[in-house]
Amino acid sequence: MEKEKKGFFEAVRLGKNHPASYLFVFLAVVLGYVIGQLPLTLVILQRSLGNEELDSSDAMIHLSETGDFSIFGLDPNFSLFLVLLSFVGGLVMLILAVKVFHKRSPLTLINYSGRVRLGRVAFGFFVWIFLCFLVEIIFIFLDPTPYEFTFSFTPFIILLLIALLILPLQTSFEELFFRGWLMQGFGYLFENKLSPLFISSLLFALIHSANPEVAKYGYLPMMSYYLMAGLFLALITILDESLELALGVHFATNFYSAVFFSYEGAALQTPALFRSTEDVNILNLNIAFVCIAAVFVWMAAKKYHWNYNSLFERFSIEKE
């Protein structure tokens, strides 16, 4: 008798998969996200009503195009904290809803065993952030003028605390929701690995279409980046049969852009160490991303002995 596989997609067998359970989890996550967004909404409303000289509609347009909350008189670190709360709300509700409606451990969104191997998370984080630094050094060597050193001790320490304590909750929510819950759900529905890979990546890109980078640098260039990022994170999750590498990589990406290098129009406007004084070349960004993603996949495949043919495997999961 063939031994039952205990892979990433097979984790859905550990719980309930009635269509209603997926609907309830989705609604719970939306509710958690909205609740988490209330503090930011209330602060903006209070600042808008308390300033007669501020045109609320113009301010919101400015915010959507730049991601800069200073127009409401908000400190960058405080606004970052408020923005991240919506993801914290979504994460809390996702964890609770998976436990209540799917009747399984939320950790099985990471892998079948429900055990988090911190070594894999660390590998994803440190290798990815090293590759980002390597590419940035090359860019600085080619053209050092666009970079401005903006270090200020107190704001930077506060930023560092937020980035270490709260930012991983934001990136973990996106990974658990898109590459965890959604990919496993689509795997259950289609009984193959490629459909979840492409569908979850497309949804990941679309949900980021409201980011200020899109307004600043154009829909097609930025959506191409988000789609490639989604495909890459989904790919390493499927090949590794686990979400751990993607958790590390996603946190490294946002930590790097929040703490070390920021630029105009970035979704996370922070008092980073360096800030670009010129518009980012999105074509160069996309080319650099493809290069470091390819290097990362090669390194991880060597280390964890991936089988690329597993991408095309089909599986059967009994429907409820």
pLDDT digits (tens, 9 = 90+) for 251-293: 999 999 999 988 776 777 789 998 887 778 889 899 999 999 9
Q: By C-alpha distance, which of 257, 203, 209 is closest to 234?
A: 203
Residue 61 falls inside a structural domain = yes
* 155-180: burial string, b at 16+ Cβ within 10 Å, e else: bbebbeebbeebbbbbbbbbbbbbbb
234: part of which helix (H) or strand (E)? helix 219-240
Residue 192 falls inside a structural domain = yes
Residue 320 falls inside a structural domain = no
Q: What is the mean pLDDT of residues 238-257?
A: 98
Q: How many domains does the chain contain in total? A: 1
Residue 1 falls inside a structural domain = no
Residue 276 falls inside a structural domain = yes
Residue 281 falls inside a structural domain = yes
Predicted local confidence at residue 143, as pLDDT: 78
Question: 258 with 167: CB under 8 angstroms?
Answer: yes
Half-sphere exposure for 52 (CA within 13 Å, toward CB): 0
Name which of 56-60, 172-176, 185-189, 303-307 the model is least confident about: 56-60
pLDDT at 56 over 90: no
Q: By C-alpha distance, which of 169, 19, 165, 12 is closest to 92?
A: 169
Q: How far is CA 189 from CA 14, 94, 225, 320, in A?
A: 15, 20, 27, 11
Domain span at 205: 9-312
pLDDT at 1 over 60: no
Predicted local confidence at residue 216, as pLDDT: 82
261: part of which helix (H) or strand (E)? strand 261-262
Chain position carrying tokens 């980011």 = 211
Name which of 133-147, 242-256, 265-279 the model is least confident about: 265-279
Residue 84 falls inside a structural domain = yes
Residue 318 falls inside a structural domain = no
pLDDT at 18 over 90: yes
For the chain, what percent of residues have pLDDT higher than 70? 92
Predicted local confidence at residue 52, as pLDDT: 63
Predicted local confidence at residue 50, as pLDDT: 67
Across the chain, what does the average pLDDT equal? 91
pLDDT at 3 over 70: no
pLDDT at 139 over 50: yes
**Which amino acid is it at 212?**
P
Confidence of residue 2 (pLDDT cuts 50, 70, 90): very low
Q: What is the mean pLDDT of residues 162-185?
A: 98
